[in-house]
Amino acid sequence: MDKATALLRQAQKDAKVFNSMSAATAAVAEQETGPKSWAVMPLSKDSMKEVHSAMEQGSGQMGILLVASKAPVSQLEVLRAMEYGGVYVAAAEMDAAGDVLKEAASFSAGPALVLLAEAAAVKDDEQWTSFRYDPRKEDA
């Protein structure tokens, strides 16, 4: 979690980073514009319930960074976030996170959801695929 938070702070210098969805959601509610407020949380079934709730609100100031540190790593629920429309969604290995996090931080038209996985968690996982879905590129 600390490594992911540090990568996020490198990607977005003015990032507001919280370790719970409720704290990030409260920070978003207090601001109408400005940089994203990020919830950095471990990937779990419980965290995905909170993610879907936040995605429904659709705030451009909301960023969610999920960290997978052990196998198996399921991308299915992360992929489902694209169904909300206007959501930046990506999955990457921790060591390749810089550009993904910069792109996610720059997405202001809606929330951003990024799944970062430790290399060891996806090492032998044939189903793991890094991806980026940026709605700005859909309209082009």
pLDDT over 70 at 87, yes or no: yes
Contact assessment for residue 28 and residue 37, using Cβ atoms and an 8 Å cutoff: yes
**DSSP tag of 61:** T
Phi, psi of 134 (to 5 degrees): -115, 105
Which tokens go with 57?
């609100």
**pLDDT bracket for residue 140 (50, 70, 90):** low
Q: What is the pLDDT of residue 8?
A: 94
Phi, psi of 51 (to 5 degrees): -60, -50
How would you classify the pairing of strands 62-68 and 37-42? parallel
Q: Structure pTM?
A: 0.93
Distance of CA 124 to the CA centre of its chain: 23
Task: Give the model confidence (pLDDT) of 31-48 as tens digits.
Answer: 877 889 999 999 988 888
Contact assessment for residue 67 and residue 79, using Cβ atoms and an 8 Å cutoff: no
User: Across the strands, what pairs with 132?
Assistant: 90
